[in-house]
Amino acid sequence: MTTPLNFAFLRSEPAPPNGRSVAILGAGPSGLFAAGYLACLGYQVDVYDKLPRAGGLMVFGIPSFRLPAERIEAGVRRLERQFGVNFNLRTKVCCSAPLHEEAGDHFSADMRSLGELVDKHDAVMVCTGSWRSRRMNIPGENLPGVLSGLEFLFPIRAARFGAPGVKIPDVAGKSIAVVGAGHSAIDVVQSALKLGASKVTLLYRRTVREAPCGAFEIDKARSLGAEWRQLATPVRVLGAQRAEGLEILQCRLGDPDEHGRRCPVPEKGTTEVIPCDMVVAAIGEVPTPPFPKELGLEDVKKGDVRWLHMTRIPNVFVAGDALTGPSKIGKAVYSGLRAARALANWLDLKAGGREAEFNAGLMHGNSQTDNGGRQQ
């Protein structure tokens, strides 16, 4: 029997309805746990997501050998059937980016505006995640056969839902060069090998000691047959009509950056070409929230707000990757729960007619907050 992820962990049974409704944009880890928290407090929760299944990148980005989709689906069913959460799937909340620019937009069959949801609900929480991939910014990366980690992994999980234009990458018998050393890069390596790639080379500009995924994952990839190349920076994708090779530059580690990691320094004149049929740049994604400037997300990141997690638009909150950028699941869950608590406390304050106490202006700094969510 599949053990569901317990998104509504505060209670075993629903609380009495409190007469308030909340819209949550995005059904990834931060959105699902925020939905469960608020549903346990008696809120009517409506979740909107562009994909055909709830779970976000937990379902459509992380391979099943890491996180079984069945556990997520079972947890979502519990939210629906026991706690009355409404899931509006295949629904895109229109934002500043054009439709079909981000992974997963192909599934969208309905469109909603942020303003519509603000008018309809007592509060809105934006948990839209990271759906646009970072670029290597090197010549040749626009050639056919060059993919991001998300472009490679997403279709593997999404193809079974039959979206137009979504198909599993054809890597059988091909040589693949994977750039990066995070968990997404490792997932690309293992997925490519499972799909029958003849050779997979994993490249990273630092060493195994600095690899975000850790030495264990690198060793596991090597045991499965991948080749590991460290201190290698991609400088150009070679090919006329499609990718035929990746030119790399050998590096050494120099002085630490602001995060304490030693920076790669190119060694002049030490280039090498790795022949390959496909290049996958698994170097991360960037957040894709609707209307980031209008919401004032930079101010929220800096703590330049009058209420924790609340954006420039009253009653609109933000959490997860939409606020912090790509992160691990645990951090996204924490952010969603923190924002849900702040949202509930804010609406309690409004119900008591006390919100005017905090209209004197913005309170500055990244300081701690009290139990109500107000910046100190």
Q: Which pLDDT tens digit goes with each residue over 300-335?
A: 877 777 788 999 999 999 999 988 888 889 999 999
222 and 104 inside one domain = no
367 has a pLDDT exceeding 80: no
Q: Which residues pair with 256 in a beta bridge?
A: 262
201 and 99 inside one domain = no
Least confident of 10-19, 154-163, 167-176, 265-274: 154-163
**pLDDT score for 371:** 47
Amino acid, res. 38: L
- Report the number of distinct structural domains present in the chain: 2
Whole-number average pLDDT of the chain? 88
Closest CA to 184 of 295, 314, 281: 281
Q: Is residue 297 part of a domain?
A: yes
Q: Rounded to whole angstroms, what are the CA distances from 251 to 28, 30, 36, 248, 302?
A: 37, 38, 47, 9, 34
Final residue in a domain of this structure, among 245, 261, 281: 281
Least confident of 150-164, 195-209, 306-320: 150-164
Structural contact between residues 85 and 47, judged by C-beta atoms closer than 8 angstroms: yes
Q: Which pLDDT tens digit goes with each residue over 217-261?
A: 999 999 999 999 999 999 999 999 999 999 999 999 999 888 788
Q: Which residue range is the domain that position 261 belongs to?
A: 135-281
Q: Is residue 53 part of a domain?
A: yes
Distance CA 14, CA 33 (A): 15
90 and 210 inside one domain = no
Determine how many CB atoms are found less than 10 A away from the CB of residue 82: 14
Structure tokens at 35: 């939905």
**Over pLDDT 70: what percentage of the chain?**
90
Query: Between vectors from CA 124 to CA 100 and to CA 26, what angle results, nearest 5°?
Result: 40
**pLDDT score for 376:** 37
pLDDT: which is higher, 337 or 67:
337
Residue 256, burial from CB neighbour count under 10 angstroms (0-12, 13-18, 19+): exposed
Q: Is residue 367 part of a domain?
A: no
Q: Is residue 375 part of a domain?
A: no
Q: Which secondary structure element, helix H or strand E, spans residue 116, and what is its range?
A: helix 114-120
306 and 255 inside one domain = no
CATH label of the domain that carries residue 54: 3.50.50.60
